[in-house]
Each structure stands twice: as C-alpha cells, then as structure tokens.
Amino acid sequence: MTTPTTADRTPDGTPPPATGRRSWLRDHSELGVCVLLLALGVLVLTDALTMDVDITQRGPVGPKTVPLVVGTGLLVVAALLAVDVLRGGRGQAETGEDIDLSEPADWRTVLLLTGVFLGAAVLIEPLGFPVAGALLFWGAAFALGSRRFDRDPLIAAVVSLVTYAVFNNLLGVPLPGGPLMGVL
C-alpha cells in the first residue's frame, strides 16, 4: 500500500479517505477484542450452566455463581465495547511506557526466565517449595539483571520460606516441603 502523494490529497491537504471493506476493518480493529470477549463469555456461561452441582448443596451462592457473574460481565463488556467502537471510539496509543520499539526484544532474558520457571516447576516436587521457590526467586533476579551474589540468594531464601509459611501454616494451602518437611 502506498502513501498518497501531493496530487492525491484533498483540497484541504489531508489524504483522501480510504475506501472499501479492508479500510473499514482496519478502522474498527478493536471489534476483534469484542469478538474475543464474546467468545470467552459464551464459553464461561456454557461451562457454568452445564456444571454438575450436588443436589444437597443449599444456599443462594453455589459453585455456579461466580462463573455466571464473570460470563455475564464478559458479555456486557463485549457489547459496550462494540457499541463504543461502532460509534467512533478509538483506543489510545501507548504513552505510558518509555520503550524504544525500534530496539529488538531481549530474548536472552525471556529464555532465562522461561528456564527458571520450568526448572522450578520440575524441582518443586522432589526438593519442596522452600528450595524450589528460593531457586525461582534467585533465578528470576539473576535473569532480570541482578548480580549481587552475596545478597540475592539470602533474600530469595527468606522470601521463599516466608511464602511457604504463609501459605502452608496461615492460609492452610499445603505446599510440598520436600526434604525440609521435618525441619519446617
């Protein structure tokens, strides 16, 4: 697609309006988000309405309540967004980030973080959450650029142990303790 030349401009100096179906779709590309929200809302509502619920369950709030509210909310947001887009509403350009889009992605960091998360997922069962969590926190700090080898492992171990204690002891969410199960 070429840009309009000076001869192709309207008398007021602006480019001529694009014509055709392709330009209409480009001008209303936010409708794709509406379709996605609509599909998610229908999926959530379908799953909620076909959910098997024990007949002995009593009370107005059951396991279907939250999915029904979320699914309905998704449909309402999809409809409101579609109306806004069709009335001429446009999404605002990214202005909050100071990112140079001409720079390439930092794939080294992405791959390091991916490896750290996968490693923690594999090690959580045999080593337990405290050890795997400490490796996860330290590995994430390393991948994101921290090179304080004297401080980072200690902070990672403290954060991991505090997280384990909060979830396991205070919230009642059992996490695998691994070899440290008898100690903690």
The percent of residues above 70 in pLDDT, for the chain, comes to 76
Tens digit of each residue's pLDDT (9 = 90 or more) over 126-180: 999 999 999 999 999 999 999 999 999 999 999 999 999 999 888 888 889 888 7
Entry pTM: 0.51
Rounded mean pLDDT of 6-23?
A: 57
Q: Note whether 33 and 81 are within 8 A (CB).
A: yes
Q: What is the structure's pLDDT at 110? A: 93
Mean pLDDT of 34-52: 92
Which pLDDT tens digit goes with each residue over 109-126? 999 999 999 999 999 999
Residue linked to tokens 């090690």: 123
- The pLDDT > 90 percentage for the chain reads 48
Is 37 exposed, middle or buried (CB count within 10 Å of its CB: 0-12, 13-18, 19+)? Answer: buried
Residue 79 CB contacts under 8 Å (≥ 6 apart), including other chains: 34
